[in-house]
Structure 1
C-alpha cells in the first residue's frame, strides 16, 4: 500500500505482534504500540491532526486487545451481564484464574464450577460489548471528519474463544467452530450492500478485497484459493482451511507436573481443518480424523468420519492439493536470523498479563 502511494499507519495493543520479531511493522510509516483502545484512539486522533495528508489516500491497521484474556472490562464500562462483584473477583487474582482455566481444559478435570464458567462467559461478553462501543466511537470519528463514506472499513479477528465448549477454554489446541468462526464486517458504500452474506470465506480473502477496492495491482495465485469478496454471491473462496501447528507446550508441561496421572497426549499434536460447503474435516497429526456436518451439527458433537470415509478422503485430498500450492517462504527478517529476537522485559511483562507467559 505504501508503494502504491498510500499513507500507512498501524497501532497494535498486542505486544507480541507489535515488535520487530514478527515483522508486522514493515511497510508502515507510523507504527504505534499503545496499551489499550483508549490510548490507541488518542494516538490515532493525533496522527490525523499532525501527520495526515488529505491529498493522499491512507491505509490504517488497528489491533485491539480488549477481547483477549484476561477478561477484565474497564471500570468505566457499564456492565450488562457480569456483576461488579464478579469483575472485582476475577481482577483480584488474574495470575491464578487464567492458569486454572487452562488446567481445567488440559487436565479434563472440572477445576472450575459451572458458576465460575458462567462468570467467565459473562466477562468475555462484557469485553466484546466494550469493544463494540470503541468501534462505534471509531466509526463516529471518521464520519464526523467526512471520511465515513469514503473509507473501506473491515472488522475481523484472528481467532475466536472457547468458553467450555468441548471442555475447552481460551484459544489453543483446537480448530472447532468457536475458534475458527470469527466476525467479518465490511463497509464501503454501495460496494458492499447492507445485510448478511452466507459465502464461505477466509481471513486471507481480506487482502485481495482491500487491494481491489484500492485499485492496487497484485499477483493472484488461483491455487491458493485467495479471492476478493467484491462482486456479491458467487465470488470468494469455496474451500476454507485452518491450521494450529505448534501446541502450547508450556500449558501441557505445567498440567503434567501438577497432575502426573493425567494423560495430556491428545494435546501434543498439530491440527489442520478444511471445510467445503457444510462438511468440515479436522485432521490431527496424531489420532483419528473428525468430520462434521455443520448444517445439522453446528456444535460438532457427532463425528461422522467412521461413516463417511469417502468425504474424509475427498476433503483430505483437497487439503493436500492446497498445501502443495505454496512455496516455502521465509516470512520475516527474524526467521532469517537478521534480527535480535530476545524478548524484552517490557514485552515479557505484557505477555504475562495476556496469558502468553505463565
Structure 2
C-alpha cells in the first residue's frame, strides 16, 4: 500500500499541473490509505495473527550475529517483542495450551481491525462489551503474555549457549500497558484511548536481570525514563565522562541506596491530527457522550504521583485525585474530599510544567547541536 501510494504521489507531482487535483489528492490520501489498510487487514487477518514471525526471525538473526561478534567489544541490543500488542499475536503451541479457537481471535479482530471506530465507540461512547467478550479478550491477551515469556526464555537460552549470560544484563519492560474493558479498567480498551493515564496503562513490567543478582521485588516507585541512566550505570561510565548521566537516577543505584524519586510526573500531549479525527467522532455522537469525556479527549493530560497519591489534570478542565494505597485501580475521585493534598499536587504540577517550558533549563541537558537550535529559535519558540 505504501509503495503504491508513493508511486501515485510521484506520478501526480510530475505529470499533473492542476493544483485543484493535487490538493484533492492530498486531502483524501489519508482516507484512501486507511481504507486500503482496513481492507487488507480484514481480508488477511488470520495470516496477520497466526503467521506472525517477526520476533522469531529476530532471534535467528541474533544467534547468527553472536556467532560472529560474541568475542568482540561489548554490545547493546534492543528487542521489540510485539506479542502482547493488539491484536495479541500467538503461536499454535500457546493457542493450544490456552484452548483458544479462531472464534476467540475473531472477537479481537472485529474490534482491532475495524479502524478506530469500534474502539472509539467503546472508549468514548461508553459502549460496554459483554462479559463473554471481556473474558475472551483477557484470555487472548494472557496467551500473548505467555508467548512473550517463551521468547524471553529463548533469549536467555541463546545467551547461555554462547557463554555470555554471566556478563549480560537484561532489562525487560514495556512502553505502555493495556486496558482490557472490565470495570477496573474504567471500561476502556487498548492503550490509545486519548483519555487515560490510569494504572492499567502506566503500571508495566520492569525486570532487571543479571546472574549475580539476588532476587528482590522492589515496592517503591521508579520511572521508566531512568532506564537511560541505569544502562549508563551498568556500562561503568562516570558523571564526569558523560554529563547527561545522573547516578542518583539509576534504578540500580536507587535499589542499592534504598532511595526513590519523591514524585513522578508524566504528560500526554495531544496530537492535533488525532484530535481532528476525535472531534469528528464527538460531533456525530455528541448527544450520547458524557460531557466529562469530551473534555478529557480535547485537553492535554498531566499527572503526578508519589507512593500514596496520584493526581491527574486535564489542562484546567478536570482534576482527579486518588489514594493509590486503598484504591489502586483509581475508582474513587477524592478531588473534593482532600483539599490539602490536592493543593500540594497542584503546585507541584505547575512547577514541573514551568520547568518543561523553560528553554534555559532544557539547555542544561541538551547536546551542543540542540542548544544551538534552541538559541536560534527561542525567540519564536513556545513550548507546550
**TM superposition score normalised by structure 2:** 0.69
Describe the superposition over 1:308-333 as per-residue Cα deviations: whole angstroms up to 9, x where unpaired.
Answer: 12111212222333344444579999
Structure 1 residues 35 and 250 mapped into 2: Cα distance closer, same or farther (>3 Å)? Answer: farther
Q: 2:227 aligns with which of 203, 206, 209?
A: 206
Instruction: Check conservation: 1:66, 1:127, Cα contact below 8 A.
Output: yes
Partner of 2:252: 229
Query: C-alpha distance in 2, partners of 1:239/1:225?
Result: 14
Partner of 1:318: 348
Query: C-alpha distance in 2, partners of 1:297/1:213?
Result: 36
User: Structure 1 residue 43 and structure 2 residue 61: aligned?
Assistant: yes
Structure 1 residues 254 and 100 mapped into 2: Cα distance closer, same or farther (>3 Å)? Answer: farther
Aligned alpha-carbon RMSD (Å):
2.9
Cα deviation for residue 258 of structure 1 reads 5.1
Secondary structure of 2:281's counterpart equals helix
User: Structure 1 residue 106 and structure 2 residue 136: aligned?
Assistant: no
Instruction: Check conservation: 1:283, 1:290, Cα contact below 8 A.
Output: yes
Q: 2:189 aligns with which of 156, 166, 169?
A: 169
Structure 1 residues 74 and 120 mapped into 2: Cα distance closer, same or farther (>3 Å)? Answer: same
Query: C-alpha distance in 2, partners of 1:227/1:53?
Result: 27
Describe the superposition over 1:91-129 as per-residue Cα deviations: whole angstroms up to 9, x where unpaired.
Answer: 76452387423321111123x322112211111111111
Between the two structures, name the one with larger relative contact order (CA 8 Å, sep ≥ 6). Answer: 1
Secondary structure of 2:318's counterpart equals coil
**TM superposition score normalised by structure 1:** 0.74
Partner of 1:302: 332
Cα deviation for residue 288 of structure 1 reads 2.3
List runs of 5+ in structure 1 lacking aligned partners: 1-33, 337-358
Structure 1 residues 280 and 249 mapped into 2: Cα distance closer, same or farther (>3 Å)? Answer: same
Instruction: Check conservation: 2:282, 2:294, Cα contact below 8 A.
Output: no
Instruction: Check conservation: 1:103, 1:251, Cα contact below 8 A.
Output: no
User: Structure 1 residue 290 and structure 2 residue 320: aligned?
Assistant: yes
Instruction: Check conservation: 1:160, 1:182, Cα contact below 8 A.
Output: yes
User: Structure 1 residue 238 and structure 2 residue 262: aligned?
Assistant: yes
Query: C-alpha distance in 1, partners of 2:325/2:157?
Result: 37
Instruction: Check conservation: 2:229, 2:245, Cα contact below 8 A.
Output: no
Partner of 1:59: 76
Describe the superposition over 1:212-265 as per-residue Cα deviations: whole angstroms up to 9, x where unpaired.
Answer: 12112332587x984442342523323212221116436624633653533351
Instruction: Check conservation: 2:108, 2:137, Cα contact below 8 A.
Output: no
Q: Which has the larger radius of gyration?
A: 2
More strand by share: 1
Query: C-alpha distance in 2, partners of 1:318/1:260?
Result: 34
Instruction: Kindly tell me the number of residue pairs found equivalent between the two proteins.
Output: 297
Query: C-alpha distance in 2, partners of 1:58/1:319?
Result: 39
Instruction: Check conservation: 1:82, 1:122, Cα contact below 8 A.
Output: no
Secondary structure of 2:299's counterpart equals coil
User: Structure 1 residue 256 and structure 2 residue 276: aligned?
Assistant: no
Q: 2:306 aligns with which of 262, 273, 276?
A: 276
Partner of 2:12: none
List runs of 5+ in structure 2 lacking aligned partners: 1-51, 374-384
Secondary structure of 1:167's counterpart equals coil
Describe the superposition over 1:137-194 as per-residue Cα deviations: whole angstroms up to 9, x where unpaired.
Answer: 111111121111110110011110111211211113211000111111001244x420
